[in-house]
Amino acid sequence: MKKENVMRNIEIDSVVLHCSTADKEKLNKCMKLLEEIAKQKPVITLAKKRVAAWKIRPGIPVGCKVTLRGKKAEEILRVILEGVKELSEKQFNPGFLTFGIKEYIQIPSVPYKRELGILGFDVAVTLKRKGFRVKKRKIKRSKIGSSHRISKEETIKFFKDKFNVSVR
């Protein structure tokens, strides 16, 4: 019997819930929505570039986000994926998954609130393996070998096995 290498186990690094809008009223509604879903205070994201067509300049609030890690990230992701029937293969990338929720009422555990209206948000899930810290640390930073990186196929297999997600 061959033992499994624990360094090859894939785990969730972070789950980011993101809602973007330039309207201040809608931004406040988005912040309330993300706080209700994640049970954590969202952070306002600011514009970095000037876009004249949308009347956006650097420093203007353009959205809000919540970053979740650990067990909380896994629990929230499990709740969100209940509302998603299937994911496209195009939404998977090597080491991460991104998808959008068009209306928050798609999530079964989140009831409709009249004061919020209909809002959507984006979900970005980043995966990691043990040893990925070497590419992020400040001192003696190095690259991760190609055999240790997470491939697109491994990402899809992880979500199929762990969250029972169907992929088309």
2 against 42, higher pLDDT: 42
CA 38 to centroid of chain Cα atoms: 12
Q: What pLDDT is attached to residue 111?
A: 85
Q: In angstroms, rounded to a whole number, what is the distance separating the alpha carbons of residues 90 and 97?
A: 9
Show the CA angle centred on residue 85, arms to residues 74 and 45, nearest 5°.
Answer: 55
Q: Which CATH class is domain 6-167?
A: alpha beta
Q: In angstroms, rounded to a whole number, what is the distance separating the alpha carbons of residues 52 and 77?
A: 36
Q: What pLDDT is attached to residue 74?
A: 93
Closest C-alpha to 106, from 133, 82, 140: 82
**Residue length, the chain?**
168
Amino acid at 17: L
Q: What distance separates the 2 farthest-apart alpha carbons in the chain?
A: 63
Residue with tokens 């992929």: 167
Residue with tokens 């040893």: 131
Q: Is 145 helix (H, G, I), strand (E, B) or coil?
A: coil
Model pLDDT for residues 53-106, shown as the tens digit of each residue:
988 899 999 999 999 999 999 999 999 998 887 899 999 999 999 999 998 888
- State the sign of the Cα–Cα–Cα–Cα dihedral 111, 113, 118, 122: negative
29 pLDDT more than 70:
yes
Residue pair 77/11 in contact by the 8 Å Cβ criterion: no
Closest C-alpha to 10, from 130, 116, 104: 130
Q: Is 91 helix (H, G, I), strand (E, B) or coil?
A: helix
Q: What pLDDT is attached to residue 1?
A: 64
Residue with tokens 């009831």: 111
Model pLDDT for residues 108-156, shown as the tens digit of each residue:
888 888 888 888 899 999 999 999 999 999 999 999 999 999 999 999 9
Q: What pLDDT is attached to residue 42?
A: 95
Provide mean pLDDT across the span 9-38. 91
Domain residue spans of the chain: 6-167
Enter the pTM of the model.
Answer: 0.88
